[in-house]
Structures are given as structure tokens and as C-alpha cells.
Amino acid sequence: MASLKVSYSSSSLSTPSFPFSQLLSFSKKVTLIRFPNAIVSPPKLKLQALGKTRATLHFAKKAAGIVKEVLPPALDSTSEPPPFFDGTTRLYISYTCPYAQRVWITRNCKGLQGQIKLVPLHRQNRPDWYREKINPTNKVPSLEHKNEVKGESLDLIKYIDNHFEGPSLFPDDPAKKEFAEVLLSYADTFNEAVFSSFKVDGSEAGAAFDYIESALSKFEDGPFFLCQFSLVDIAYAPFIERFQPFLLDVKKYDITEDRPKLAAWIEEMDKNEAYKQTRREPKELVEIYKKRFLAQL
Ligand SMILES: N[C@@H](CCC(=O)N[C@@H](CS)C(=O)NCC(=O)O)C(=O)O
């Protein structure tokens, strides 16, 4: 989306690759609500126009991830709980959890940094209040919204896309919509197939990556699964971000070899600022996977 090719220099504003116009028209709507047509004097109008431009740009920058967020420290078992159910929308995550990352990316891509507060939890040392008050499964992610808590990353990315402002991350075109559902339901199967290949040879995951390569070839006019950047890219990105360096390091298996579409997709995703802000160093991710998977072998 916006993110992907838009860097906020004036030159790139003129040639955005993502429906930047969509972002701007949405921002226009927001600013119109903020500055409803009142009877005002010309100087005031000028000021309003300036305000609108500023708000439009600020929103667009947020959605494109250009406004860099200062990330809060992770809460652990010694941390006080936030004042739950006070009307604040909170997204409970762990910084290294790929499922939580899906929802975090969605929030960033829609420019919702101001509306959805991040509550990062220490992955291994979660506070008890999280299980007791927020999510009895103790899993992240969870979203606290309108005094209710919802979980499951693939449900949450759709929920955020449908219930919050920001550019739509789901296609309108019926064929693309249908394919989006197919790919979203394959996402966990894909992960499982790759996880089980860790126990054997990395190339055992070949069929799963071939599926991705052919999915990326279905629509010709873009580097993303559905041409335009969407929730499908978000669903896969955190996992491919981990699988690629892990398989290369441990199994000497390069997932991009003979898969030009996948290579191009990874390259495009790497340019997405909103996504970049959720990423960890590949080295750290490889170490986490080594601890988790190699110990089991
Ligand atoms: N199906 C869930 C999976 C979430 C999940 O497994 N999260 C992990 C962290 S990456 C978790 O919180 N596990 C519970 C635990 O570690 O106790 C989703 O898609 O949201």
C-alpha cells in the first residue's frame, strides 16, 4: 500500500504505486468531519485549508508509516495492568510474535497509531492479569475495543479493516475477493507445512513455497498477491520474514531460488515503512527459531 513505494519526498508523492489517492480522499473525509462547513471569514478559511492540508499529510504519513512511533517497553509479570475497559482501544502483542505482527502491521497501514494503543507483553513472562482479564488462552494478539476483547490474528486483521478508518486493505473485485479468502485460509496450512520441514530437509517446504509462487503469478499486474497491497500480504509477511533467513541459515535452502515472483514480493514488502516498523532483526528471529525448533529435533 501507500507505504510500499511512497517515501514522502515531493517527487514520490507524484508517482505513488499504491492507491495513494484513496488515502488522500479518505483523509479529506476525515478533515471534512473535523472542519465542517461553518460560516467563516476568508482568513479563517485560509487557516482551515492549511489545517486540512496538514491533517491530510499527517494522516497519509501515519498510514505510510513515515511517522515513526516510539514503541513502549514490553510489560512483564511485575507490571501494573492498564486501566482496562476505559474506552481505550488496545492491541495486546508481543514484539516477536508473528501472529500479533499481522495485526500490528494492519493497524500501522491504516494509520491507526493514534486510535489503537499498543500494549506489548513480554513473550515468556506475561503478567497474570492478561490471562485473567483479557484473554483466557493467554495468547497474543488480542484487541480490546468497545469494552470487548477479540482474538485470532486473521479475524483481527479483517475486523480492523472493517471497523476502523483508513484505506481499505481488501479488494473490491469479486475474483480477487474470492482469491483473498482462499489465500487467507491457506495461510496457517502454509505455516504448518514449513514448520514441519524444519525437522527434515528445508527443501521439503518446496511445495508450500511453490504454491506461494504460483499464487503471486495469478494476477499479472502487480507484485502483491492481489496486485494491490492487501491483508493477504500482511497475513504472510511475518512468517516469510522468519522462514527465509532461518531456512537459509540452518538448511542452506534459499526460498527465492527459481521463484522470481516471491523474490520480487519480498523486495516490495521490504520497502513498506508501516511494516518495517514492526520488524525485528533477521538474526534475532533466526536465534528464536533455533531455540524453539532445533531443540525439538
Ligand atoms: N491462532 C492464533 C495464534 C496466536 C499465538 O499462537 N500466539 C503465541 C505467540 S506467537 C502465543 O501467545 N502463545 C501462547 C503462549 O506462548 O503461551 C492467532 O492467529 O492469533
* For the CA of 96, the nearest atom of ligand 1: 10
Q: Is residue 2 predicted with pLDDT exceeding 70?
A: no
Pocket-testing residue among 124, 140, 149, ligand 1, by greatest number of atoms within 8 A of Cβ: 140
pLDDT of 24 = 43
Cβ(238) – ligand 1 distance below 6 Å:
no
Cβ(53) – ligand 1 distance below 6 Å:
no
Span 43-100, pLDDT tens digits: 544 555 555 556 555 556 666 656 689 999 999 999 999 999 999 999 999 999 999 9
* For the CA of 103, the nearest atom of ligand 1: 20
Span 9-54, pLDDT tens digits: 333 333 333 444 444 444 444 433 333 333 334 454 455 555 555 6
Q: What span, in angstroms and rounded, lies between the C-alpha atoms of 61 and 53?
A: 12
Fold of the 89-163 domain: Glutaredoxin (3.40.30)
Residue 258: pLDDT band (50, 70, 90) is: very high
Q: What is the mean pLDDT of residues 115-141?
A: 97
pLDDT of 120 = 98
**CATH architecture of structural domain 174-296:** Up-down Bundle (1.20)
Of 52 and 207, the structure prediction assigns the larger pLDDT to: 207
Cβ(59) – ligand 1 distance below 6 Å:
no
pLDDT of 294 = 86
Query: Fold identical between 89-163 and 174-296?
Result: no
Q: Which of 26, 146, 31 is nearest to 84 (CA)?
A: 146
Q: What is the mean pLDDT of residues 178-182?
A: 98
Q: Is residue 277 predicted with pLDDT exceeding 50?
A: yes
- Domain parsing of the chain, residue ranges: 2-63, 89-163, 174-296
Cβ(176) – ligand 1 distance below 6 Å:
no
Element (H, E) at 27: helix 20-34
pLDDT of 46 = 52
Tell me, in angstroms, the distance from the centre of ligand 1 to residue 174's CA: 31
For atom 6 of ligand 1, the residue with the nearest CA is: 139
Tell me, in angstroms, the distance from the centre of ligand 1 to residue 288's CA: 15
Of 294 and 241, the structure prediction assigns the larger pLDDT to: 241
Cβ(134) – ligand 1 distance below 6 Å:
no
pLDDT of 125 = 96
Q: Is residue 1 predicted with pLDDT exceeding 80?
A: no
Q: What is the mean pLDDT of residues 282-286?
A: 97
* Residue owning grid cell 533467513: 245
Q: Which of 258, 232, 247, 236 is nearest to 202 (CA)?
A: 247
pLDDT of 220 = 82
Ramachandran region of residue 170, left (φ > 0), alpha (ψ -120 to 50) or beta? beta
pLDDT of 10 = 31
pLDDT of 58 = 59
Residue 241: pLDDT band (50, 70, 90) is: very high
Cβ(196) – ligand 1 distance below 6 Å:
no
The pTM (predicted TM-score) of the whole model is 0.82
Tell me, in angstroms, the distance from the centre of ligand 1 to residue 139's CA: 4
What is the pLDDT of the chain when averaged over all its residues? Answer: 84
Q: What span, in angstroms and rounded, lies between the C-alpha atoms of 230 and 225?
A: 8
For atom 15 of ligand 1, the residue with the nearest CA is: 139
Cβ(153) – ligand 1 distance below 6 Å:
yes
